[in-house]
Amino acid sequence: MIKKEIGTDQLITQIIKGIEEVKGNDITILDLREIENTVCSYFVICNGTSNTQVNAIVNSIQKTVSKSIKDKPWHVEGGENAEWVLIDYVNVVVHVFQKHIREFYDIEGLWGDAKTTTIETNY
């Protein structure tokens, strides 16, 4: 059975909704489509204030995406210590960090050629 292709924009919208649902911070979208040899089309990056909030963000994203567009991640890793959790939806990879870990790894800096969109939150 071939999996029906979910619209990437729709997926990103639901991921953002899941992050905002539990007040994830500093939401950034990196568009990697113009960069050669990337593993996906987009990164969505955000951070939480604790491992409890990081896990809440991850759970909220998965629940929101699953409920609205019936999609499940291909792979999830990092949930054990919840400092950096990666959720792989194939075309879109979500990175949920604790703030100090995000600053240390500086994914945005590593992918400096990517088109960056910052999502404003009102909380």
Any idea what DSSP says for residue 110? H
Summarised one tens digit per residue, pLDDT across range 3-30 is 444 599 999 999 999 999 999 999 999 9
Element at 26 (helix H, strand E): strand 25-31
Cα–Cα distance measured from residue 5 to residue 71, given in angstroms and rounded to the nearest whole number = 10
Cα–Cα distance measured from residue 95 to residue 87, given in angstroms and rounded to the nearest whole number = 7
* pLDDT at residue number 123: 83
Return the CATH number at 68. Answer: 3.30.460.10
Across residues 39-62, what is the average pLDDT?
97
Element at 13 (helix H, strand E): helix 8-21
pLDDT at 1 over 90: no
Q: Flag whether 60 is in a domain.
A: yes
pTM of the full structure: 0.93
Q: Report how many domains make up the chain.
A: 1
Summarised one tens digit per residue, pLDDT across range 74-113 is 999 999 999 999 999 999 999 999 999 999 999 999 999 9
Contact indicator for 46, 57 with CB cutoff of 8 Å: yes
Range of the domain at 47: 8-114
With 0-12 / 13-18 / 19 or more C-beta atoms within 10 angstroms meaning exposed / middle / buried, residue 78 is middle
Q: Flag whether 52 is in a domain.
A: yes
